[in-house]
Structure 1
């Protein structure tokens, strides 16, 4: 069997298995949707979604709660109906829009007359009737109305039965009780115009407001006149029990494991009508399509994505289904996600199983064909075995041994290369590398993406051109800088098989860091020669070319001294990189004083005073006298240059334990904060002064000298103005 025909056969098998898996998953989704298999899970998801997007509580609703404080202040339940009469009288004075007395008052009482009289005073008062299902004496149901006096005084009587799902949670309500066609429908206590609706007995899903989100006041507070009338005026008032252990309480989606009192559930029923907040459900056809679409999308994606990404897409689709259900609930729709989630949960393992089975069968067939084929070039020179399978197995073992030997030879050749080399397959994954590469990258590379590994070591500015080069290897080579300041030349070449088809690529890195450093050093030298050393020489020539007979010798000397100082610093920097450190004991304060004295003539010309304060107790430092002296001179010279005329430069030497601190402060304008972090780099200059300008090499020289002496240097702008340089050197010990 040829490779092409074998691959085509496997592709056909994959298509058949895919169609079978898709059909089976679709059938299960259809059965789950029609049969309600996932309804318990859907209810739990509905509860969770409800807690995420609860309804808004209508501000016109007000609950007068028979709560624990009311029981403490009024007395044990039940209360005389005269108490309720007094409450309704108190409410009537505040002119509410309506009053609903959510209490079962089915038995007559001597106080009914006073309560009925109070009910007729102001706003209409609605009372609940109790529906018993099944009823007594074998009846299918039984209706218990309020006491006759109260029923006649009420504006409306409605049922307050709570519809409970099979798991004990309240999620819906019916706007009327309609047990059979012969009986007149009884509207819900909180129904608004539901009596004329033909389907008023159909349960409708509630979108609950968050628990305790309705405005609530205590029964006792209203009774005692403690509630302002403005809080009650124009509102729909519900009177009911909220005290624990008193009245009906039910689990609801927003209760988070607790229960909600019946009066608050009724408030949610009224809230849903006022805001059109009933949660609608799609048609059966739409529900089926919603359940099938994610599974079909996932099954279609299996042809285009890698297996390891399939699980992420499946999880992503599950999250999308949940997110869509929550978003739909926010706009009063509930699309049950259970069938869709079930389909996604089945599709991935089902397709994985069938694809694995097809691949296993294909591999078994290919091995069988391979064992039947003669391979004289790969045959081992062992004794012939009468068993054909054993003989073919030995031939296969010989071929495998040859492949291993070839791989070992290639690996040994690759390992012998002095520079990093990466061999990757068509997907870009590294399959072979050498020790030089692992040292360069600092980790094992096999299995990683070659492009990502190369981009990871490159500095951020080099990643864009490097990405462009890796996408078009016909460019020859590219030079880039790594994050650790090394510089590499990368060459990528394609690996071509015997039939001219691509099999991968090889990346070869050459470390040219020394060449790059030499190139940068050459550029710096050219900059020094072309600008920093040329400028003072040009100034000298300009002064000499002036027609005046009197030559400004001081200016010529200053420019010449600037050139000499720059040259000395540059030469000393180069020498320090080549010679070993050879210190001698030196008193730090003496060396600082000598440096200040050498600059006295320059300071005197501008009236700048250099003051030295020595508190170091003649501490010694191990120093190369000449270079440390020149570093001190550079710092004090800069301080003099950037100080105003008649200013002061302070040099303070302190001994602090095992270190000596030298602090040089001037009274200039300070250093520009933008270049403050770079002030010790080569060719960084501050042109803030009018009379002088830094050449950008002196401070780099100072930093190199201090570092050579095992010390450290810092710079900051002092609070009084001017720059302040601090040098810390280790004490050499007594001599």
Structure 2
């Protein structure tokens, strides 16, 4: 036990250490970028699961595409073209126009063009212009449109698009700048200008301000700051939004009414003049222009689809909780259950990530948690295997040193293979030896001639031998396993007068061997022995019981006692009386008349003869081999009643046969059974008052025939019935004072030897009803024992 407690403490210590290590790894991974790419790939897959129909979206694109370049000439174009485009779009009364062109420098060759564009911006009043930040020698400088354009623009917003380490554009910051100047994102200003985003409506994303690292080369942290980050919920691959060619709008091919109430974005889409980005919904062959990314952002904000990253503490908790649950379960479950649990938790994390991304619009990173689950299972399985292997090695050595193995079952162990193979081979050897030992114990137990039971501490049968199966009428000893002891031995009656059941006696007994003599319902005399059993560590594990059937020995002993009693008392008494009479007559010839002398001599001689006949009949019934033949019990009972006709007439007793005289066959020894019936009918007549009646009959009782005789005599008390079938016992009440006391023991012996029993139903003043139960010919006897009947 101390070794087991020590092992348990070591195991829990290892569990706590491993739990702390795994959690530290998860927290460390959460604060590094090692798993960021894997989390992003999963989040990209979720973004691709959010496609939406934008055919009815108010967001439309006017692209500076390859067609327009081919028609209008090389880029850059004169700003008068931009002015004309804005005028045409404005004529259609759009909600807002986003001119995604950096206008930070003047047209040095044709300055008047800048004036035309400024006038177009002023006349429209619905144009949003972009600005950007540039790194000037480590300083963040806001590059805005020319002062003339800036004054005429309805709003100015930043168009920064950060790119992750893997080169994919996923995220934007809706607010950027540095004190005291801050700019909303270009798309937010477009929505506000178009009346789709009230000024008092808060921006999504975290308001926490963080520094910008917009310099992709130096990764230098600049004074430029940003807040409200969100991931863009892309509507689909490039080309999802309605797009018109710049030249088609300019020459009137696309009528201005097309843009009524629309949010119009004008930007470069042609190859080589605009920025193209990889996004979660693009592939290597087809990238997405920056102006279309802005269109996706605007439409997502319009639809309230704002994907935000879960806070760091939420993501850490999301990854830690399943690992803690798995580690707690792994300490108690089997390897297979632990594996299924870890896989199930991984699937549950994936489902939670999908649900959070699709419905809650919060993006989680489950990779660290999944890695923690895999690490937990691998580490704990390794520790379990290592601990189990070491334990098996120790137990194997202990088993070998304890001498428990059988010499005949020893096997040669192989020394080949790796460490685990050698341990498995050693365990296989021990298993074979244990099987041999179990077979040895089983054969030894079954070889015992007496019924033997092995019980646990709850007194349920753990093992039983073949003799026990025969004793309790079971088909196989395995049928007794698991059954409670008190169910098997509830019919035992202790001869020592113990006040409680055998099982209760064992439950309160001291842990020492003991024994008692008992009698069961079938009339068997049993010597019950028990001894406690203990484990190798000295713990009480149950009891070993042996039920020795001493019926034959007790019967022979009782027969010897009966014979001694018969010879020393019953046979001697009438002979002594005869000798006394002879001596009396010899001393005083006048003491009695010759007739009186003859009567007394005859009475004592007849009594001795009756005793001899009854004793001889009882011995014959007990010892001789029965010659069984099929007889009709109705005929045998009728013959017994006919033979008793004269004594019944002498007492004016009426003999009645009850029931039909049909065929009721049983296998009986005719001579002995007829004498048993004669005894019962004669006793009924002998002890019945004059003028009464004795009723007889045969009826079915389950698979038995019941031959019954009922009188109207004084009856027998229940106290006297307990001893009624003992040899030489005579009831000391009423008129039942004569007889040898061997008639009823003879009847019981005959009934039992025929596979049946004799019963008595009576009480003082109620008459007696004796019944012989005999198996019906051709049927297996299944009697219903009557525990209340002492004659059974």
TM-score (norm 1): 0.49
In terms of Rg, which structure is larger? 2
TM value normalised by structure 2? 0.46
